[in-house]
Structure 1
Amino acid sequence: MTVCASCGRRLAASQAVCPECDRLLAPPVPDPTRGAFLCPGCAARFDAAMQSPWPENARWFMPQGVRLRCPHCRAVLRDRMRSRVSPWEIGGLYALLLLAQFQLPAAQARAATFGGMVVALLWVLWRRERGVPRENRYALEPARQPGTGATD
Protein backbone atom coordinates (compact mmCIF):
# COMPACT_ATOMS: atom_id res chain seq x y z
CA MET A 1 0.00 0.00 0.00
CA THR A 2 1.16 3.47 -0.76
CA VAL A 3 0.25 6.68 0.99
CA CYS A 4 -0.46 10.18 -0.30
CA ALA A 5 2.63 12.39 -0.13
CA SER A 6 0.74 15.47 1.06
CA CYS A 7 -1.92 14.20 3.47
CA GLY A 8 -0.72 10.68 4.38
CA ARG A 9 -3.94 8.79 3.49
CA ARG A 10 -3.71 5.28 2.08
CA LEU A 11 -4.08 4.91 -1.67
CA ALA A 12 -5.43 1.90 -3.55
CA ALA A 13 -2.59 1.77 -6.07
CA SER A 14 0.79 3.38 -6.55
CA GLN A 15 -0.51 5.48 -9.47
CA ALA A 16 -3.76 6.52 -7.70
CA VAL A 17 -4.53 10.12 -6.80
CA CYS A 18 -5.88 11.09 -3.40
CA PRO A 19 -9.45 12.42 -3.98
CA GLU A 20 -9.20 14.98 -1.16
CA CYS A 21 -5.90 16.42 -2.37
CA ASP A 22 -7.12 16.36 -5.98
CA ARG A 23 -10.18 18.39 -4.98
CA LEU A 24 -8.05 20.90 -3.05
CA LEU A 25 -5.49 21.33 -5.85
CA ALA A 26 -8.01 21.61 -8.70
CA PRO A 27 -8.34 25.08 -10.27
CA PRO A 28 -11.28 27.03 -8.88
CA VAL A 29 -14.45 27.11 -10.95
CA PRO A 30 -15.25 30.73 -11.91
CA ASP A 31 -18.30 32.13 -10.15
CA PRO A 32 -20.63 33.82 -12.70
CA THR A 33 -22.18 36.07 -10.03
CA ARG A 34 -18.94 37.71 -8.84
CA GLY A 35 -16.37 39.71 -10.71
CA ALA A 36 -15.38 43.20 -11.75
CA PHE A 37 -16.55 42.99 -15.37
CA LEU A 38 -19.82 42.02 -17.03
CA CYS A 39 -19.91 39.90 -20.20
CA PRO A 40 -22.26 41.41 -22.80
CA GLY A 41 -22.86 37.96 -24.31
CA CYS A 42 -23.96 35.90 -21.30
CA ALA A 43 -24.35 38.57 -18.56
CA ALA A 44 -21.98 36.63 -16.28
CA ARG A 45 -19.30 38.41 -14.26
CA PHE A 46 -15.56 37.77 -14.40
CA ASP A 47 -12.38 39.34 -13.04
CA ALA A 48 -10.18 38.98 -16.12
CA ALA A 49 -10.88 38.11 -19.72
CA MET A 50 -8.97 35.06 -20.87
CA GLN A 51 -6.69 35.21 -23.88
CA SER A 52 -7.01 32.55 -26.55
CA PRO A 53 -5.15 32.05 -29.83
CA TRP A 54 -6.80 33.34 -33.01
CA PRO A 55 -7.62 31.69 -35.35
CA GLU A 56 -8.36 28.61 -33.28
CA ASN A 57 -7.07 25.21 -34.39
CA ALA A 58 -4.72 26.78 -36.91
CA ARG A 59 -1.98 24.69 -38.46
CA TRP A 60 1.56 25.16 -37.21
CA PHE A 61 2.62 27.32 -40.17
CA MET A 62 -0.26 29.79 -39.92
CA PRO A 63 0.44 32.91 -37.84
CA GLN A 64 -1.79 33.32 -34.82
CA GLY A 65 -2.77 36.30 -32.74
CA VAL A 66 -4.53 36.53 -29.40
CA ARG A 67 -8.17 37.43 -28.76
CA LEU A 68 -9.88 38.28 -25.49
CA ARG A 69 -12.68 35.87 -24.54
CA CYS A 70 -15.26 35.55 -21.78
CA PRO A 71 -14.25 32.72 -19.42
CA HIS A 72 -17.88 31.55 -19.21
CA CYS A 73 -19.35 31.63 -22.74
CA ARG A 74 -16.07 32.08 -24.69
CA ALA A 75 -17.51 35.03 -26.64
CA VAL A 76 -14.88 37.16 -28.39
CA LEU A 77 -14.60 40.48 -26.53
CA ARG A 78 -13.25 43.92 -27.42
CA ASP A 79 -11.57 46.07 -24.78
CA ARG A 80 -13.27 49.46 -24.89
CA MET A 81 -10.63 51.17 -22.72
CA ARG A 82 -7.53 50.07 -24.66
CA SER A 83 -8.17 50.48 -28.36
CA ARG A 84 -6.28 48.27 -30.79
CA VAL A 85 -4.11 49.84 -33.44
CA SER A 86 -3.98 47.86 -36.67
CA PRO A 87 -0.66 46.96 -38.30
CA TRP A 88 -1.57 49.18 -41.29
CA GLU A 89 -1.92 52.21 -39.03
CA ILE A 90 1.36 51.49 -37.27
CA GLY A 91 3.09 51.04 -40.64
CA GLY A 92 1.68 54.33 -41.91
CA LEU A 93 2.87 56.23 -38.85
CA TYR A 94 6.29 54.59 -39.12
CA ALA A 95 6.54 55.56 -42.80
CA LEU A 96 5.68 59.17 -41.96
CA LEU A 97 8.40 59.26 -39.29
CA LEU A 98 10.94 57.84 -41.74
CA LEU A 99 9.97 60.43 -44.33
CA ALA A 100 10.47 63.14 -41.73
CA GLN A 101 13.93 61.77 -40.90
CA PHE A 102 15.22 61.55 -44.47
CA GLN A 103 13.45 64.41 -46.22
CA LEU A 104 13.92 67.20 -43.69
CA PRO A 105 17.16 68.94 -42.71
CA ALA A 106 18.87 67.58 -39.61
CA ALA A 107 17.78 70.49 -37.42
CA GLN A 108 14.10 69.93 -38.21
CA ALA A 109 14.15 66.12 -38.22
CA ARG A 110 14.25 65.80 -34.43
CA ALA A 111 11.35 68.22 -33.97
CA ALA A 112 9.34 66.49 -36.69
CA THR A 113 9.97 63.06 -35.14
CA PHE A 114 8.95 64.28 -31.69
CA GLY A 115 5.88 65.98 -33.15
CA GLY A 116 4.95 62.80 -35.03
CA MET A 117 5.17 60.76 -31.83
CA VAL A 118 2.99 63.26 -29.98
CA VAL A 119 0.42 63.18 -32.79
CA ALA A 120 0.42 59.35 -32.76
CA LEU A 121 -0.07 59.30 -28.98
CA LEU A 122 -2.90 61.82 -29.15
CA TRP A 123 -4.50 59.85 -31.97
CA VAL A 124 -4.45 56.60 -29.94
CA LEU A 125 -5.85 58.39 -26.88
CA TRP A 126 -8.58 59.99 -29.00
CA ARG A 127 -9.71 56.55 -30.20
CA ARG A 128 -10.41 55.36 -26.65
CA GLU A 129 -14.03 55.23 -25.62
CA ARG A 130 -14.70 57.67 -22.81
CA GLY A 131 -17.37 57.56 -20.16
CA VAL A 132 -17.58 53.77 -20.12
CA PRO A 133 -18.41 52.33 -16.68
CA ARG A 134 -15.73 49.98 -15.38
CA GLU A 135 -18.00 46.94 -15.34
CA ASN A 136 -18.93 47.50 -19.01
CA ARG A 137 -15.31 47.66 -20.13
CA TYR A 138 -15.69 44.79 -22.61
CA ALA A 139 -18.00 44.74 -25.63
CA LEU A 140 -18.71 41.96 -28.11
CA GLU A 141 -16.25 41.88 -30.97
CA PRO A 142 -17.96 41.98 -34.37
CA ALA A 143 -17.74 38.64 -36.16
CA ARG A 144 -14.93 38.40 -38.69
CA GLN A 145 -13.19 35.66 -40.53
CA PRO A 146 -9.47 35.01 -40.12
CA GLY A 147 -7.32 35.86 -43.10
CA THR A 148 -9.67 38.48 -44.59
CA GLY A 149 -7.34 41.35 -43.73
CA ALA A 150 -9.91 43.10 -41.52
CA THR A 151 -7.45 44.09 -38.76
CA ASP A 152 -6.50 40.49 -37.96
Structure 2
Amino acid sequence: MNSRTRCQGCGAKLPSAEAVCAHCEAELVTETPKPVGKYACPHCNGRFAKPAQVRWPPKVPWWRPAMERMQCPHCDTPLRDRRQPDIHRGFIPLMLIAVLSIQILVADRTLRSWLGFLLVLGSLSYFFWRTERGVVERDRYAAGSSRRFATGGTEQPGVAQQRQSDSPD
Protein backbone atom coordinates (compact mmCIF):
# COMPACT_ATOMS: atom_id res chain seq x y z
CA MET A 1 0.00 0.00 0.00
CA ASN A 2 1.43 3.40 -0.92
CA SER A 3 1.29 6.73 0.89
CA ARG A 4 -1.48 8.01 -1.41
CA THR A 5 -4.10 5.76 0.20
CA ARG A 6 -3.32 6.77 3.76
CA CYS A 7 -4.39 9.95 5.57
CA GLN A 8 -1.49 12.35 6.10
CA GLY A 9 -2.99 13.62 9.37
CA CYS A 10 -3.81 10.45 11.29
CA GLY A 11 -2.46 7.69 9.03
CA ALA A 12 -5.84 5.95 8.59
CA LYS A 13 -6.41 3.80 5.53
CA LEU A 14 -8.41 5.51 2.74
CA PRO A 15 -10.47 3.76 0.03
CA SER A 16 -8.95 5.83 -2.80
CA ALA A 17 -6.32 8.50 -3.38
CA GLU A 18 -9.00 11.21 -3.76
CA ALA A 19 -10.91 10.26 -0.57
CA VAL A 20 -10.89 12.45 2.53
CA CYS A 21 -10.49 11.11 6.05
CA ALA A 22 -13.80 11.66 7.92
CA HIS A 23 -12.07 11.92 11.30
CA CYS A 24 -9.62 14.63 10.21
CA GLU A 25 -12.28 16.52 8.25
CA ALA A 26 -14.51 16.67 11.35
CA GLU A 27 -11.63 18.18 13.31
CA LEU A 28 -10.98 20.80 10.64
CA VAL A 29 -14.57 21.93 10.33
CA THR A 30 -15.25 24.51 12.98
CA GLU A 31 -18.49 26.14 13.87
CA THR A 32 -18.89 29.62 12.51
CA PRO A 33 -18.76 32.05 15.40
CA LYS A 34 -22.00 33.78 16.20
CA PRO A 35 -21.82 37.50 15.55
CA VAL A 36 -21.14 39.32 18.77
CA GLY A 37 -23.74 41.98 19.41
CA LYS A 38 -23.06 45.59 20.16
CA TYR A 39 -25.22 45.66 23.31
CA ALA A 40 -25.45 43.45 26.40
CA CYS A 41 -28.59 42.46 28.28
CA PRO A 42 -28.40 43.58 31.93
CA HIS A 43 -30.32 40.50 33.07
CA CYS A 44 -28.77 37.55 31.18
CA ASN A 45 -25.57 39.22 29.80
CA GLY A 46 -26.47 37.93 26.32
CA ARG A 47 -25.17 40.03 23.44
CA PHE A 48 -27.46 41.38 20.72
CA ALA A 49 -27.29 43.82 17.82
CA LYS A 50 -30.64 45.46 18.56
CA PRO A 51 -33.46 44.72 20.98
CA ALA A 52 -36.54 42.88 19.82
CA GLN A 53 -39.69 44.97 19.34
CA VAL A 54 -42.68 42.96 20.62
CA ARG A 55 -46.36 43.70 21.14
CA TRP A 56 -47.34 44.43 24.71
CA PRO A 57 -49.40 42.99 26.32
CA PRO A 58 -48.79 39.70 24.54
CA LYS A 59 -51.54 37.58 23.02
CA VAL A 60 -54.25 40.24 23.02
CA PRO A 61 -56.91 40.21 20.30
CA TRP A 62 -56.29 42.50 17.35
CA TRP A 63 -59.14 44.86 18.29
CA ARG A 64 -57.71 45.65 21.73
CA PRO A 65 -55.14 48.42 21.99
CA ALA A 66 -51.57 47.25 22.28
CA MET A 67 -48.19 48.90 22.09
CA GLU A 68 -44.68 47.81 21.28
CA ARG A 69 -41.88 47.55 23.75
CA MET A 70 -38.23 46.58 23.59
CA GLN A 71 -37.04 43.35 25.11
CA CYS A 72 -33.95 41.16 25.11
CA PRO A 73 -34.06 38.64 22.26
CA HIS A 74 -32.56 35.97 24.55
CA CYS A 75 -34.39 36.15 27.88
CA ASP A 76 -37.44 38.37 27.08
CA THR A 77 -36.54 40.93 29.77
CA PRO A 78 -38.14 44.31 29.05
CA LEU A 79 -35.56 46.96 28.23
CA ARG A 80 -35.50 50.74 28.19
CA ASP A 81 -33.16 52.92 26.20
CA ARG A 82 -31.02 55.03 28.50
CA ARG A 83 -29.96 57.43 25.74
CA GLN A 84 -33.41 58.19 24.29
CA PRO A 85 -35.80 57.88 27.23
CA ASP A 86 -39.55 58.17 26.98
CA ILE A 87 -41.19 61.13 28.65
CA HIS A 88 -43.58 60.62 31.52
CA ARG A 89 -47.15 59.95 30.37
CA GLY A 90 -48.49 62.85 32.43
CA PHE A 91 -46.07 65.37 30.94
CA ILE A 92 -48.14 66.36 27.88
CA PRO A 93 -51.44 66.90 29.78
CA LEU A 94 -49.50 68.93 32.36
CA MET A 95 -48.04 71.13 29.62
CA LEU A 96 -51.48 71.62 28.03
CA ILE A 97 -52.97 72.66 31.36
CA ALA A 98 -50.06 75.05 31.98
CA VAL A 99 -50.39 76.68 28.55
CA LEU A 100 -54.16 77.08 28.91
CA SER A 101 -53.85 78.52 32.42
CA ILE A 102 -51.23 81.04 31.24
CA GLN A 103 -53.47 82.10 28.34
CA ILE A 104 -56.59 82.41 30.50
CA LEU A 105 -55.26 83.78 33.81
CA VAL A 106 -52.49 86.18 32.75
CA ALA A 107 -53.74 89.42 31.24
CA ASP A 108 -50.43 91.18 30.62
CA ARG A 109 -49.03 90.27 27.21
CA THR A 110 -45.38 90.66 28.17
CA LEU A 111 -45.76 88.53 31.28
CA ARG A 112 -47.65 85.91 29.27
CA SER A 113 -44.85 85.64 26.70
CA TRP A 114 -42.18 85.41 29.44
CA LEU A 115 -44.13 82.69 31.24
CA GLY A 116 -44.54 80.81 27.94
CA PHE A 117 -40.79 81.10 27.34
CA LEU A 118 -40.04 79.79 30.84
CA LEU A 119 -42.48 76.93 30.30
CA VAL A 120 -40.70 75.90 27.09
CA LEU A 121 -37.32 76.25 28.79
CA GLY A 122 -38.50 74.15 31.74
CA SER A 123 -39.91 71.41 29.51
CA LEU A 124 -36.67 71.24 27.51
CA SER A 125 -34.61 71.04 30.69
CA TYR A 126 -36.89 68.24 31.92
CA PHE A 127 -36.36 66.33 28.67
CA PHE A 128 -32.58 66.69 28.86
CA TRP A 129 -32.58 65.77 32.54
CA ARG A 130 -34.17 62.44 31.57
CA THR A 131 -31.32 61.60 29.19
CA GLU A 132 -28.52 59.70 30.90
CA ARG A 133 -25.12 60.91 29.75
CA GLY A 134 -21.86 59.03 29.80
CA VAL A 135 -23.51 55.66 29.18
CA VAL A 136 -21.15 53.09 27.71
CA GLU A 137 -22.43 51.77 24.36
CA ARG A 138 -22.47 48.20 25.68
CA ASP A 139 -24.77 49.20 28.59
CA ARG A 140 -27.15 51.38 26.59
CA TYR A 141 -30.22 49.32 27.53
CA ALA A 142 -31.30 48.95 31.17
CA ALA A 143 -33.71 46.37 32.57
CA GLY A 144 -37.23 47.62 33.09
CA SER A 145 -39.86 49.17 30.92
CA SER A 146 -39.67 52.73 32.25
CA ARG A 147 -37.87 54.95 34.70
CA ARG A 148 -39.96 55.99 37.67
CA PHE A 149 -40.88 59.65 37.71
CA ALA A 150 -38.43 61.81 39.71
CA THR A 151 -36.51 58.82 41.07
CA GLY A 152 -33.63 56.74 39.84
CA GLY A 153 -35.45 53.41 40.17
CA THR A 154 -36.80 51.20 37.44
CA GLU A 155 -39.90 49.13 37.12
CA GLN A 156 -39.17 45.60 36.03
CA PRO A 157 -42.31 43.78 34.99
CA GLY A 158 -41.47 40.54 33.27
CA VAL A 159 -38.18 39.98 35.05
CA ALA A 160 -38.34 36.75 36.95
CA GLN A 161 -38.32 37.57 40.65
CA GLN A 162 -39.08 35.26 43.55
CA ARG A 163 -42.12 36.28 45.58
CA GLN A 164 -42.81 35.24 49.14
CA SER A 165 -45.67 33.03 47.96
CA ASP A 166 -43.23 31.12 45.72
CA SER A 167 -41.03 29.97 48.59
CA PRO A 168 -40.72 26.20 49.05
CA ASP A 169 -41.82 26.33 52.74
TM-score interval, smaller chain: 0.5 to 0.7
Please tell me whether Structure 1 or Structure 2 has the larger radius of gyration of its CA atoms.
2
User: What TM-score, normalized to structure 1?
Assistant: 0.65
Q: What SS does the aligned partner of 1:130 have? A: coil
Q: Secondary structure at the match of 1:56?
A: coil
Q: 2: CA distance between counterparts of 1:143 and 1:44?
A: 18
Aligned equivalent of 1:125, options 115, 120, 128: 128
The gaps in structure 1 that reach 5 residues or longer are: 1-30, 146-152
Secondary structure at the aligned position of 2:73 is classed as coil
Indicate if the aligned counterparts of 1:38 and 1:136 stay in contact, CA closer than 8 A. Answer: yes
Tell me, yes or no, if structure 1 residue 135 matches structure 2 residue 138: yes
Tell me, what secondary structure is at the counterpart of 2:157? coil
Q: Which residue of 2 aligns with 1:113?
A: 116
Residue 62 of structure 2 aligns to a residue whose secondary structure is: coil
Q: Distance in 1 between matches of 2:58 and 2:138?
A: 27
Looking at structure 1, the residues matched to 46 and 74 of structure 2 have their Cα atoms a distance apart, in angstroms, of 7
1:1-152 mapped onto 2 (5 Å cutoff) = 31=34, 34-105=36-107, 106-141=109-144, 142-144=155-157
Cα offsets for 1:59-100 (capped at 9, x unmatched): 234321221111222221111112222221221122112211
Aligned residues with identical type, % of pairs: 30
Distance 1:121 1:75 in 2: 30
* Secondary structure of the corresponding residue to residue 120 of structure 1: helix
Name the Cα RMSD after superposition.
2.0
Tell me if the contact between 2:80 and 2:143 (Cα under 8 Å) persists in the aligned partners: yes
Given that 1:101 and 1:113 are in contact with CA atoms closer than 8 Å, whether structure 2 keeps it comes out as no
Unaligned runs of 5+ in 2: 1-33, 145-154, 159-169
* CA drift at 1:137: 0.6
